[in-house]
């Protein structure tokens, strides 16, 4: 029997605010345990939360970027459950009236571009962190009250690969917007996956299973692959799939049962009496709309069209807004096709060796463009350019300064170059005979020979002209 898979993702993104959602405690990652807490985020009696306006601004920014419906009236609600890392015994979230609904995330898979529809996006606070040891459980409340947006997709993905691409696309978007750093390892982007199978052609969805504890995009993909196969095997063995929450084991790439899945009514949601409804208007929305940046796939399509670049190269560029912006500054001042080669091959090559990103590069875009133009105009050779680039990377100095200080200007003395070329011709009679037989690529051999003697400083234009002239006279 053939089966169809249905996947929906619930993604929590931690917002890049300086303070928590309802108090002034820091959201800084890596602080000492329980350093960033106060009576408000610890839920002490008599305290009153005050909503951080930046959270609403970031939510609207994301909603506009994902074509969501922005609800101008939304309500904070209490989600009631008991766990050691939840000091109030309830989590402030949104339920019936979220701030954002509908919209979509655009992905690209083997079939091209596809829109994955969203159910809703709502605001909520994070819980603390429980650390289990061999003989105890410890609780760090620093994360309690850190602002989150939960992005709930519709069950519209059909393969683990689509789920992987969805997460990559969503992370790029929130990074471009500057509302989340998208770091799964630090927990600032977390994903729960709901997956079910059904016989091909059946309209009714199968019983869904939720998977947690995945800390990388690849783990999400691997967990889904395993769970789909597990469910298929269970059905074919006449076993019933139960609605449950399962944990992903990254050592074995398997999922294990954790608990039966909760239903919404079990959380006893009700409007939070301490928080006013969120009411926003066009005056609040318009400045955010005017400040939106070009999104990754829009930038990719424009780069390919505007600069006639290869899609695979552009996909690497758009992974980082800073890298894409750096490239475009170089491309506007030089040959775009040369610019992408220098940015992706040389610049990223050097940065990757030191585990750095483009924001840590000392070379200014205008200086890299100047270097490219020096090569394009035959002012320096490609070999010398790479030597100059290395020194630019170390010092951040402009290329012309390095060329002057290191005496790397091209040799244009025709008499000197003729002498070097004559010696190369006299020393390689076989290569001359090959040229006579019509093998024109012999010219490259003599260019290399002269460059070797002159340490790459010979003017390639003059050398090519001299070689053709000299060989033609023989």
CB 355 within 8 A of CB 326: no
Same domain for 223 and 321? no
User: What does the pLDDT read at residue 261?
Assistant: 65
- The arithmetic mean of pLDDT across residues 113-126, rounded, is 96
Last residue of a domain, one of 287, 315, 347: 287
Q: pLDDT tens across 164-223, in order?
A: 999 999 999 999 999 999 988 888 999 999 999 998 888 899 999 999 888 889 999 999
Please, is 52 exposed, middle or buried when counting C-beta atoms within 10 Å of its C-beta (0-12, 13-18, 19+)? buried
Out of 224, 253, 287, a domain closes at 287
Residues 243 and 214 in one domain: yes
**In the prediction, which pLDDT does 117 show?**
97
Q: Write the DSSP assignment of 77-128 as a string of letters.
A: EEEE---TT-TTSEEEE--SS-SEE--EEEEEETTEEEEEEEEEEEEEE---
Question: Which pLDDT score is estimated for 289?
Answer: 95
Let me know whether 394 and 420 are in one domain: no
pLDDT in tens, 214-252: 888 999 999 999 999 999 999 999 899 999 999 999 889
Same domain, 63 and 145: yes
Write down the residue that tokens 């300086």 correspond to.
18
Query: Both 29 and 76 in a single domain?
Result: yes
Classified as helix, coil or strand, 192 is strand
The structural domain count of the chain equals: 3
Per-residue pLDDT band at 452 (split at 50, 70, 90): confident
Identify the bridge partners of residue 257 per DSSP, sorted by sequence position: 246
Q: How far is CA 13 from the centre of its chain?
A: 14
Judgement on whether residues 258 and 322 belong to the same structural domain of the protein = no
Check: CB of residue 88 under 8 Å from CB of residue 48.
no
> Do 205 and 335 lie in a common domain?
no
pLDDT in the model for residue 226: 94
Whether residue 276 is predicted with pLDDT greater than 90 in this model: the reply is: yes
The count of C-alpha atoms lying within 13 angstroms of the C-alpha of 348, restricted to the half-sphere facing its C-beta, is: 17
Residues 307 and 264 in one domain: no
HEC readout, 399-458: HHHHHHHCCCCCECCHHHHHHHHHHHHHHCHHHHHHHHCCCCCHHHHHHHHHHHHCCCCE
Residues in Cβ contact with 77 at an 8 Å cutoff, skipping those fewer than 6 apart:
92, 93, 94, 95, 96, 269, 270, 271, 272
Looking at the fold, whether 430 and 401 belong to one and the same domain comes out as: no
Contact 212, 245 (CB under 8 A): yes
Say what the pTM is: 0.85
Domain that holds residue 440: 414-473
Q: Are 327 and 343 a contacting pair, CB within 8 Å?
A: yes
CB neighbours of residue 275 within 10 Å:
17
Same domain, 251 and 370: no
**247 & 143 share domain:** yes
Same structural domain for residues 80 and 218? Answer: yes
Which domain CATH number covers 437?
1.10.10.410
- pLDDT tier for residue 474 given thresholds of 50, 70 and 90: low
Domain end (from 254, 287, 320): 287
């Amino acid at each position: 029997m053939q089966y169809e898979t249905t996947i929906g993702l619930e993604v929590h993104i931690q917002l890049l605010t300086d303070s928590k959602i309802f108090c002034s405690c820091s959201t800084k990652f890596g602080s000492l345990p329980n350093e960033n807490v106060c009576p408000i985020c610890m839920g002490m009696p008599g305290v009153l939360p005050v909503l951080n306006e930046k959270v609403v601004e970031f939510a609207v920014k994301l909603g506009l970027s994902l074509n969501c419906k922005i609800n101008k009236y939304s309500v904070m609600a209490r989600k009631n459950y008991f766990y050691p890392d939840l000091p109030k015994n309830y989590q402030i979230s949104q339920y019936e009236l979220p701030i954002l609904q509908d919209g979509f995330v655009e992905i690209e898979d083997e079939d091209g571009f596809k829109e994955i529809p969203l159910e809703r996006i709502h605001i909520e606070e994070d819980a603390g962190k429980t650390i289990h040891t061999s003989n105890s459980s410890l609780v760090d409340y620093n994360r309690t009250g850190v602002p989150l947006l939960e992005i709930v997709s519709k069950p519209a993905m059909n393969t683990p690969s689509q789920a992987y691409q969805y997460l990559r696309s969503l992370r790029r978007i929130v990074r471009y917007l500057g509302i989340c750093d998208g770091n799964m390892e630090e927990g600032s982007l977390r994903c729960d996956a709901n997956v079910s199978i059904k016989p091909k052609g059946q309209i009714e969805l199968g019983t869904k299973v939720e998977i947690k504890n995945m800390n990388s995009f690849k783990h999400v993909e691997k967990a889904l692959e395993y769970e789909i196969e597990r469910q298929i095997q269970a059905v074919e063995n006449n076993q019933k799939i139960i609605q449950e929450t399962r944990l992903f084991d990254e050592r074995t790439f398997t999922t294990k049962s954790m608990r039966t899945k909760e239903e919404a009514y079990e959380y006893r949601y009700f409007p939070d009496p301490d928080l006013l409804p969120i009411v926003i208007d066009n005056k609040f929305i318009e400045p955010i709309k005017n400040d939106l940046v070009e999104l990754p796939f829009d930038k990719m399509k424009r780069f390919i069209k505007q600069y006639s670049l290869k899609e695979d190269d552009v996909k690497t560029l758009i992974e980082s807004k800073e890298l894409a912006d750096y490239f475009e500054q170089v491309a506007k001042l030089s040959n775009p096709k040369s610019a992408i080669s220098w940015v992706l091959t040389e610049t990223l090559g050097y940065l990757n060796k030191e585990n750095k990103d483009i924001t840590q590069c000392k070379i200014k875009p205008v200086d890299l463009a100047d270097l490219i133009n020096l090569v394009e105009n035959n002012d320096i050779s490609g070999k010398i350019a790479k030597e100059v680039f290395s020194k630019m990377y170390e010092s951040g100095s402009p290329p012309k300064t390095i060329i002057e200080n290191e005496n790397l200007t091209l040799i244009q003395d025709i008499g000197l170059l003729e002498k070097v070329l004559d010696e190369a011709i006299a020393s390689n009679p076989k290569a001359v005979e090959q040229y006579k037989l019509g093998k024109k690529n012999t010219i490259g051999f003599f260019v290399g020979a002269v460059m070797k003697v002159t340490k790459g400083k010979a003017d390639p234009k003059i050398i090519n002209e001299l070689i053709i002239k000299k060989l033609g006279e023989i």
